[in-house]
Each structure stands twice: as structure tokens, then as C-alpha cells.
Amino acid sequence: MQDEDTDAPPPKEQPDEPLGVEDEFFSNEPYASPDADGGYTSADFHNVIQKQIVNATYETLVESKLHWGLVEPFLHAAREICRGDFRRTGRIRVHGAAAEGEGKAEAEEAYVSLSIADQDDGQEWLAQTWWLSDIVLAGADPAQVREAARALERTTAKLDAWLSANERGPDEDG
């Protein structure tokens, strides 16, 4: 036995609402401007087109998953922007002092900072710090930690040599 409701005709659709400016632009009916002169301005055109593109884009995104071919150009463009930001505004530094209140204090150990700012407005969008020991210990391999510790000793020796060659005593001018 078949359910009686399945044979019933579908309900009548609600009548369309009155056309707005956006709908009037895309309808076959002549445009009736609310302006006194009855003209359709270029500003009206741009507003309607922009709204229609935004609405169409939104509807497309809601209804379907974008194909990789459509997403890939955005990814490539974003990568290029980030590469430019890294090259032009990126800063990697090793620090030995940390902010403490209004001044600076000696840090418990050396740390590395990475900061990247937007090329156009200078607004920093990435700022990260790591203790140098955490970087060295990340692999958890004692042999690699020993190698890094010996390399850090050689680095310290080079830095000490540079400092002794470039530091001037209080009596030296120049």
C-alpha cells in the first residue's frame, strides 16, 4: 500500500518577492531607477556587479568543493608574498638579554628569535622565540647533542676573538 502523501502534488511555490536593484539588473524587465531622473549610474552598476559576484562566489563555495586547479594559484601567490616578506623583512637573531619590566636582564641562556613583517605596512605577522638548548636537544640523539655542543664552543671562541679585537678600552678613542 502506497502512502497517500507521496501522490500529492508539490505545494505551490511562493510568489517571487519584488525585484531589488540587483535583481532588476539581471532581469529582462526594464530598469526603473528610484532616482528622480530615472538614470542608472555607473556607481549602481559597480555596486550591483560586486554584490552579484560576491553572492555567486559564496553560493559556489557553499555548494561545491573547489577543484585544486582553482585553489593552487592562490596558494602559489600566498607563498610568493610570504617569501617576499621573509626576504625583505625577516629577522633571525640570537639574544642573551630579555626584557624585564622597563629594562633588560640577562637571559637564563641564549635564545633565537624569528620575526616577519608585512612588506607593505610593516605590521609583524610572525614572531617566535626558541631557547637554543631546546633547538639542540630537539633530536634527542646524544651524538648530535655532543656535536652541537662542541660546535657551540667553537662559536663562542670565535665570538670572544671578535670581541677582543673590536672592543676598545675606556682610554682608547677612535
Whether residue 99 sits in one domain with residue 47: no
Mean pLDDT calculated for residue range 24-40:
52
Whether residue 105 sits in one domain with residue 140: yes
Q: Give the sheet arrangement for strand 103-117, strand by strand.
A: 91-100, 103-117, 124-131
Whether residue 160 sits in one domain with residue 107: yes
Give me the number of domains the chain comprises. 2
Whether residue 93 sits in one domain with residue 160: yes
- What is the extent of the structural domain holding 32? 16-62
Whether residue 94 sits in one domain with residue 32: no
Chain centroid to CA 41: 37
In a domain, 72, yes or no: no
Phi, psi of 16 (to 5 degrees): -60, 145
Phi, psi of 139 (to 5 degrees): -75, -20
8 A C-beta contact, residue 86 and residue 124 = no
Mean pLDDT calculated for residue range 145-169:
92
Nearest to 117 by CA among 91, 92, 89: 89
Rounded to the nearest integer, the mean pLDDT of the chain is: 78
In a domain, 74, yes or no: no
Whether residue 56 sits in one domain with residue 97: no
Report which of residues 103 and 60 the model is more confident about. 103
For residues 59, 61, 62 and 67, what is the CA-based torsion angle, rounded to 10 degrees? 130
pLDDT for the residue 148: 93
Cell 638579554 maps to which residue?
97
Mean pLDDT calculated for residue range 127-139:
92
Hey, what amino acid is at 160?
A: D
Say if residue 35's pLDDT is above 60: no
In a domain, 42, yes or no: yes
Say if residue 84's pLDDT is above 80: yes
Say if residue 49's pLDDT is above 80: yes
Question: pTM, whole model, 2 decimals?
Answer: 0.51
8 A C-beta contact, residue 62 and residue 54 = no
Whether residue 94 sits in one domain with residue 58: no
